[in-house]
Amino acid sequence: RSPHVATPIETYLKSLHMSLSDVMAGEVASYIPELGLADPKKFGICIATVDGQLYSVGDAGCPFTIQSMSKPFMHGYALREHGQERVARQVGVEPTGDPFNSITLDDVNNRPFNPMVNAGAIAVAELMKGDNTSERTENMLDFFGQFAGRPLEIDEQVYRSEHATGHRNRAIAYMMLNTGMLSLPPEEVLETYFRQCSIRVTCRDMAVMAATLAAHGVNPLSGQRVLSPDHVRDVLSVMSTCGMYDYAGQWAFDVGLPAKSGVAGGVIAVIPGQLGIAVYSPPLDSVGNSIRGVAVCQKFAQDFSLHAYHDR
Ligand code: GLN
């Protein structure tokens, strides 16, 4: 077997990884106790192209929980299974500028503002099909597996930790029961929400999932169509404006790519028609985005002039 010769993109990723490895700022999320156990030094980057090439560096195979990066995919699922009109009754598409766990609804429409904040994601979780928790979990894992191109599982420890401490999310769900937004019992909807957040992934999985969005809904590894191009457009639009919480405006300004972060330290960004990038690094900034994750995307977008409004 001939020795592996690094491609230019691998060389680039290596030096990007090295240049950010000693950034030590930020705190690992600990409000979900199990997440507090993460190793702050872990740092992985993976790029997946729409033609199925994968390039990774560092801890790209290290497992962590998807957390809020599940939200755009659940939105996609809801659109696929129920259509735009039904989903629009459940959740809006307005950025809030509020933190992800804000306990607010849009009082004109009585809906959560968008599917990227917890309230919106909980409302969307209700649309997972299945007659009971185990059917819904099975359907959800099957859908996420289609995006990742391999079967995925739930991290039971993280799930139990979320379930035991997620009282703020319970408050949000009960508020939506109060306004008539939820029809199922809140605890059942939360079962789906806590489980979706606890899906175990790697950077490699997330890059493939992001590349599936970049490929307008076709998984570049399996060739399977997971979402229609129209629904991918809807999902990416919301990611562009709401994906990074109260940092979304600055992100749009600096990076200009649809993206989503999660409190376990993952970030994905999508370059439509080209590739998906995923970063894993647990320490977070004050709004809950991975510090190195944001830095990688900023640098990558800059180095390759990827900003959506850049003159190419
Ligand atoms: N499970 C987390 C929560 O509900 C997800 C939040 C996030 O990743 N920002 O608080």
Q: Quote the ligand 1 centre to 142 CA distance (angstroms).
A: 21
Cα-based distances in Å from 258 to 55, 201, 240: 20, 20, 4
Is residue 68 in contact with ligand 1, taking CB distance under 6 Å?
Answer: yes
Q: What are the chain's domains? A: 8-303 (3.40.710.10)
Give residue-wise pLDDT tens across range 143-166: 999 999 999 999 999 999 999 999
Indicate yes or no: pTM above 0.90.
yes
Give residue-wise pLDDT tens across range 86-131: 999 999 999 987 888 988 898 888 899 999 999 999 999 999 999 9
Judge whether 137 and 88 are in contact, CB under 8 Å.
no
Alpha-carbon distance of 258 to 268, in angstroms, equals 8
Alpha-carbon distance of 177 to 160, in angstroms, equals 23
Q: Quote the ligand 1 centre to 118 CA distance (angstroms).
A: 7
169 annotated as a binding-site residue: yes
Catalytic (active-site) positions? 68, 71, 193, 245, 263
Q: Quote the ligand 1 centre to 37 CA distance (angstroms).
A: 16
Give phi and psi for 246, each to the nearest 5: -75, 5
Give residue-wise pLDDT tens across range 268-307: 999 999 999 999 999 999 999 999 999 999 999 999 999 9
This model of the complex carries an ipTM of 0.96
Q: Is 175 left (phi over 0), alpha (psi -120 to 50) or beta?
A: alpha
Alpha-carbon distance of 156 to 159, in angstroms, equals 5
Atom 2 in ligand 1: which residue has the minimum CA distance? 67
Instruction: Provide the pLDDT confidence category of residue 2 given band limits of 50, 70 and 90.
Output: low
109 annotated as a binding-site residue: no
Ligand 1 nearest-atom number relative to CA 67: 8
Is residue 263 in contact with ligand 1, taking CB distance under 6 Å?
Answer: yes
Is residue 100 in contact with ligand 1, taking CB distance under 6 Å?
Answer: yes
193 annotated as a binding-site residue: yes
